[in-house]
Structure 1
Amino acid sequence: MWPEPAWPIGQGPDGSRIVTVAFVSKAAYTWRDGVLAVLVLIALVFDVAFQNAAWRPVAAVFGLGLVLAVLVRRIHPLSAVVFAFGGFAILDVAAYVTGTEPMTLHSGWVVLVLVYSLLRRRAGRDVIVGLAVVALAMTAIVGVDFPGIAETIAGIAIVLLAAALGASVRYRGIAREQLITQAKLQERERLARELHDTVAHHVSAIAIQAQAGLFLARLESLSGATEALETINREAARTLAEMRMMVSALRDVRERSPLTPRHRIADIERLAGDSTTTLRIGVELRGDLTNLPPAVEGALYRVTQESVANAQRHAQHATRVSVEVTGSATDVRLTVSDDGRRVAAATSSHGFGLVGMTERVTLLGGTLTAGPNADRGWSVRAVLPRPDAAA
């Protein structure tokens, strides 16, 4: 069984209707249709050879029409069904009216393939019209040449089985297509988060330090400019390393390499090394922080990194950023707060950073809140459950 897609069958992630799907062959016909057409032709030869002389021309023409219906069943399934069932009904009614023996075609089994193709490749109005034609044709055939109750029920059941099989294959195909689309969207979201939290983070730090270096250079403060250049050099090296790792992971066909380095709780303490003379970063780890899953540790690091970067960019006149990570028996709590004055534009627009942090925490079953403190500054709080606590 296919797993359930994240949105209704027949709809895209934005609610739009899926009219065509990629699993439908773009070719007018395939080698399978050629094989079916040859089988119909072989049956037609025997039908014409052993047919009543009066019906031979009709059998030949109608049989060739069935061959054509097989070849176009992928692009014109409704027309193929209408021709086949309508043709058989007209021939049986004509035989009844003229008082002659009904024409027997052993190639008639192909109508089951045509019904399957209709439900496999079409939906909505085409299916309703096609099934209505099938029902009317079978009613006419049974009405003029009743084969018996058992044979009638068996014939109807076989036609319905072919229709149900076609609809089932179509449903599974659409579900599979939607699962592929969903997987692609999730992968794009993951790449967006990783790029934002790695490359964008370091490039932003480079831009800030470059502006500070230019300002200090104009003031002829060589020590401050040197510090800014050292930060730029450090961030550029990190960016190159993480970019190389990401490219290497994307090129790994075995998909065993992580996109970015796996960060642990201990790496959060290293963020204090990004402190400057004007903004101090303090990190405090408390409680039980052992035996945490790598995903939880990585999420805590990325949320801390992004929160500290936001404070560096947006917190005006801030002198300190406090990072507190507290582990308990049931969860891990992270709080990142600064003592600066938040810019109005920053409070009204969260950008992609808060979205990425929320996605990371939510995927692990946690919660994240962000907002201004009561007095001044800004705080980000995340709570991540411990998987072993639920057990």
Structure 2
Amino acid sequence: MGAEVHRVLMAGGQRQVGLSAGPVAALHPYAEQVSNPLRSLLEEPRPSAPPVRVWRDWALLAGVAFVGVLEVLLREDMPLPGLSLVLGVGLAPLLLWRRTHPLAVVATAFGAVAVVDLGLIATDAPALDVYTMIYFLLLPYALFRWGSGREALAGLAIILVPATISFVFNWSGVGDAIGGVAVLMSAFALGWAARTQHGARERRLEQVKSDERVLLARELHDTVAHHVSAIAVQAQAGRALAATRPSSALEALEVIEVEASRTLAEMRAMVRVLRNESPVDYAPQPGVADLARLAGASPAGPRVEVRVSGDLIALPAAIDAAVFRIAQEAVTNARRHARNATLIDVTVAGDRATVSLAVRDDGDPGTAEPAPEAGYGLTGMVERALLLGGTCQAGPCPGRGWAVTATLPRQVAA
């Protein structure tokens, strides 16, 4: 097929095209560098889940068929109108499979064009000239957008066959040749650009999911560690008081039951999310208003007192939750590691710029620092504060006890 492919590939050929080429250097030092991109292209897989046919595909097919028939009816100078109609409109249904089978569609369409071209040349018949076949540019676009790297290279080789035939037997000048190549390369480049952009978006989404799972894992540690610590403390208290104060042992068992039920429910909820199952209905994240849950006396272990002061209204959700989680983790650590402590004091104060948190115990000096194997609680507290633009520190108090202090901004940086 002559002029119709020539017209598709040479569209815009009468425009000036500027080319630039640098000096040709020795190829040997760069052979390995060139092979790496080629290997990467060959190993490039197909994008996942190409979209199925939608109404736009059928509308495109109907539009191509309508324009093809209209062109045959209105153009009096069209050579071989019957063959032009069969080829131009008959190949249009391949558009429906351009995303799911890009190489097969390119091979069929451009292969048919090459066969028809060779037949017309052999019989000395006039070349076909079908404007409608401009839709062929969608096929190399789809090849580089939805095909694998190997399919893209194979399809490129197939496309070069009718393109070469058109250049050789329908030569109309260097300008047209450069314009045709530019149009064809633009289709390739647009397909690859769309593919790259989609891949980058998918990677960003995966990163967001991964970050969210890290946050959920931290929430799991913070919440469950607090409940499990309470269970352990209550179990120790129950065992110590069972012989002398049976009623206290019964109270400890009731607390253990409640804490265990909460722990199990929260673990199940978070595991469902971590396993990508259906979304879970969560209660609102605890915040400053929920700090009173940490307060109270225990049959065995230090008493927790909570004091809140200053402007703590309308805190950002991230800051509100971070204050509670850091306080919860600090209280949990003090209950675990503060020997001979009788009091854990939680103080939260807010002003116009910052929210300050301090958790102090009155245990023996130097005993409240977690051991290396104690987990990631302290690391999690510091990381939370840093992510929100604040600070978190832990260390011994003057005289007795251990303190965890944190300062968080009232506004989270965008």
Contact persistence 1:330–1:385 (CA under 8 A)? yes
Higher relative contact order (CA 8 A, sep 6+): 2
Contact persistence 1:23–1:177 (CA under 8 A)? no
Describe the shift of the 1:37–1:328 C-alpha distance in structure 2 as closer, same or farther (beyond 3 A).
Answer: closer
2:246 corresponds to 1:222: yes
Q: Pick the aligned partner of 1:293 from 312, 315, 320.
A: 315
2:141 corresponds to 1:116: yes
Describe the shift of the 1:362–1:18 C-alpha distance in structure 2 as closer, same or farther (beyond 3 A).
Answer: farther
Contact persistence 1:22–1:177 (CA under 8 A)? no
| Number of the residue aligned with 1:146 | 171
Contact persistence 1:93–1:144 (CA under 8 A)? no
SS in 2 for 1:321: strand
Task: Provide the rounded CA distance (Å) in 2 between the counterparts of 1:90 and 1:146.
Answer: 19
Task: Provide the rounded CA distance (Å) in 1 between the counterparts of 2:210 and 2:355.
Answer: 29
| Number of the residue aligned with 2:75 | none
Superposed CA offset, 1:98-119 (max 9, x none):
6442244566334212122112
| Number of the residue aligned with 1:259 | 283
Percentage of matched positions with identical amino acids:
40
Contact persistence 2:231–2:256 (CA under 8 A)? yes
2:327 corresponds to 1:304: yes
CA RMSD of aligned residues (A): 4.9
| Number of the residue aligned with 1:70 | 95
Is 189-198 or 72-81 further displaced after alignment? 189-198
SS in 2 for 1:260: coil
What aligned pairs does 1:164-203 form with structure 2 within 5 A after superposition?
164-198=189-223, 201-203=226-228
Task: Provide the rounded CA distance (Å) in 1 between the counterparts of 2:174 and 2:237.
Answer: 92
Q: Pick the aligned partner of 2:294 from 268, 271, 279.
A: 271
Deviation at 1:347, TM superposition (A): 1.5
Task: Provide the rounded CA distance (Å) in 2 between the counterparts of 1:259 and 1:362.
Answer: 26
SS in 1 for 2:320: helix
TM-score of the two chains, using structure 1 as the length reference: 0.66
2:373 corresponds to 1:349: yes
2:355 corresponds to 1:332: yes
- Unaligned runs of at least 5 residues, structure 1: 1-16, 247-254
TM-score of the two chains, using structure 2 as the length reference: 0.63
Contact persistence 2:50–2:100 (CA under 8 A)? no
Contact persistence 2:392–2:406 (CA under 8 A)? yes
SS in 2 for 1:384: strand
Deviation at 1:213, TM superposition (A): 1.2
Deviation at 1:302, TM superposition (A): 1.8
Q: Pick the aligned partner of 2:105 from 80, 97, 108.
A: 80
- Equivalenced residue count is 354
Write the letter of the residue equivalent to 2:372. Answer: S
Contact persistence 2:350–2:356 (CA under 8 A)? yes
Deviation at 1:308, TM superposition (A): 0.4
Contact persistence 1:91–1:103 (CA under 8 A)? no
Contact persistence 1:89–1:141 (CA under 8 A)? no
- Unaligned runs of at least 5 residues, structure 2: 1-42, 73-77, 271-278
Superposed CA offset, 1:78-113 (max 9, x none):
343244335535644664566442244566334212
| Number of the residue aligned with 1:12 | none
SS in 1 for 2:404: strand
Superposed CA offset, 1:115-148 (max 9, x none):
2211221354443454455456434412320245
Deviation at 1:380, TM superposition (A): 3.1
Superposed CA offset, 1:14-44 (max 9, x none):
xxx994555523x5x6666566667777749
SS in 2 for 1:383: strand
Deviation at 1:159, TM superposition (A): 3.3
Write the letter of the residue equivalent to 1:116. Answer: Y
Describe the shift of the 1:259–1:152 C-alpha distance in structure 2 as closer, same or farther (beyond 3 A).
Answer: farther
Write the letter of the residue equivalent to 1:333. Answer: S
SS in 1 for 2:171: coil
Deviation at 1:273, TM superposition (A): 1.5
SS in 2 for 1:177: helix
Contact persistence 1:330–1:386 (CA under 8 A)? yes
Describe the shift of the 1:32–1:280 C-alpha distance in structure 2 as closer, same or farther (beyond 3 A).
Answer: closer
Superposed CA offset, 1:136-194 (max 9, x none):
64344123202456655554454344434433443443344344434444444454444
